């Protein structure tokens, strides 16, 4: 056997999905978890996940066959995953310090290994197949410590680094305004101003998604979807709620981008949903390994949205 043939065979073994994943039947109509984190800090509390527990969350997801996808890719139906794996989306609300922190060392800056960004980057180095994706819903005008991760000298650098590393930045209003309490003018100003502040640091970046503070919608949905204030035009392709459970597949007729539920990443909630999909594997989105096809169980064609995103082809399996 030639050396080239040995290399090809070795690569095939390395790239092949683990047996447990390969045995999962594809079902791209299954549900998807959009996880909602807030503080990454100590001690563990209602809105706080410790660094060690966040690492453990990633390990559990990895071991159970979940792989990180960008929220925008989920919206667009661009899901390029190994066969047998399941997409999962990470979101972080409120731009608190433990999500992204720099440490000053030897005259330079390093990402704190105990902040969310540091933990995600370290996990991706150890498990590159897991991915390095998340959406950060920031508060540019909030009081400390939630104003853009609470290191004023490095606000711009952090937002630029997030975009450069492939993370997403989302709108969370200017200072966490409860949009249900305000008239149209204030709602639109909160959303346009939030985007304007982000674009001061990353001018070409357009936040495509909005996470509702406290999950409260304004009186008119369209106020949150699109608008323009003082020359700043915003348009949100999706609106995320603060709870609600797992989301429908982006290929399902039930998928509503303006009412996307999330799972709060508390120990009890995350454990419940991981156990739920372990016991009901047919309820979980399982990739067919082909980014150009949408594979669904036979007889489920009517549940698929029409039209599918451009370039995708529907396949029914037995």
**Percentage above 90 pLDDT, the chain:** 92
Determine, yes or no, domain membership for 7: no
Q: How far is it, in rounded angstroms, from Cα 199 to Cα 156?
A: 10
| pLDDT score recorded for residue 194 | 98
Give, in order, the Cα–Cα distances in Å from 86 to each of 15, 95, 169, 285.
17, 27, 23, 6
CA–CA dist 267, 283 (Å, integer) = 21
**291 Cβ neighbours under 8 A, 6+ residues apart:** 78, 79, 80, 81
How does the average pLDDT of the chain come out, rounded? 94
CA distance 94 to 148: 8
Full-model pTM:
0.94
Considering the domain boundaries, does residue 15 fall inside one? Answer: no
Domain membership of residue 230 (yes or no) is yes
Residue 4 lies in a domain: no
pLDDT band at 73 (very low <50, low <70, confident <90, very high): very high
Total of domains in the chain = 1
CATH number of the domain residue 305 falls in: 3.20.20.370
Give 112-162 pLDDT, tens digit per residue: 999 999 999 999 999 999 999 999 999 999 999 999 999 999 999 999 999
Assess if residue 2 is contained within a domain: no
What pLDDT, on the 0 to 100 scale, is given for residue 22? Answer: 57
Q: Does residue 254 carry a pLDDT above 60?
A: yes
Q: What is the pLDDT of residues 276-315, one digit of tens each?
A: 999 999 999 999 999 999 999 999 999 999 999 999 999 9
Tokens 């490095």, located at residue: 154
Task: Give the β-pairing of 33-37 and 260-264.
Answer: parallel
pLDDT tens for residues 103-124? 999 989 999 999 999 999 999 9
The set of residues, in sequence order, having a beta carbon less than 8 Å from that of 164 and lying 6+ positions away, is: none
Residue 118 lies in a domain: yes
Do the domain assignments include residue 8?
no
Enclosing domain of residue 180:
22-317
Does residue 54 sit within a domain? yes
Beta-strand relationship, 232-235 and 238-244 = unpaired
In this predicted structure, what is the pLDDT of residue 8? 36
């Amino acid at each position: 056997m030639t050396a080239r043939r040995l290399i090809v065979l070795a690569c095939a073994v390395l790239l092949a999905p683990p047996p447990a994943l390969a045995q999962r039947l594809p079902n791209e109509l299954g549900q998807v978890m959009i996880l909602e984190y807030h503080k990454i800090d100590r001690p563990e509390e209602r809105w706080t996940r410790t660094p060690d527990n966040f690492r453990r969350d990633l390990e559990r997801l990895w071991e159970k066959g979940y792989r990180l996808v960008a929220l925008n890719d989920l919206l667009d139906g661009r899901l390029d995953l190994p066969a047998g794996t399941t997409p999962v989306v990470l979101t972080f609300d409120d731009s608190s310090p433990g999500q992204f922190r720099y440490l000053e060392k030897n005259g330079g800056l390093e990402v704190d290994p105990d902040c969310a960004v540091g933990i995600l980057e370290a996990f991706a180095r150890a498990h590159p197949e897991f991915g390095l994706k998340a959406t950060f819903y920031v508060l540019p005008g909030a009081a400390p410590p939630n104003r853009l991760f609470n290191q004023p000298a490095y606000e711009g650098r952090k937002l630029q680094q997030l975009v450069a590393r492939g993370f997403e930045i989302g709108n969370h209003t200017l200072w966490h305004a409860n949009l249900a309490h305000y008239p149209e003018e204030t709602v639109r100003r909160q959303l346009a101003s939030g985007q304007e502040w982000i674009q001061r640091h990353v001018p070409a970046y357009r936040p495509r998604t909005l996470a509702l503070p406290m999950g409260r919608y304004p009186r008119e949905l369209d106020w949150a979807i699109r608008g323009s204030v003082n020359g700043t035009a915003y348009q949100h392709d999706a609106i995320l709620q603060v709870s609600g459970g797992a989301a429908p597949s982006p290929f399902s007729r039930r998928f509503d981008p303006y009412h996307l539920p999330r799972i709060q990443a508390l120990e009890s909630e995350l454990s419940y949903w991981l156990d739920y999909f372990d016991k009901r594997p047919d309820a979980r989105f399982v990739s067919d390994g082909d980014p150009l096809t949408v594979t669904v169980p036979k007889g489920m064609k009517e549940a698929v949205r029409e039209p599918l995103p451009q370039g995708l082809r529907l396949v029914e399996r037995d």
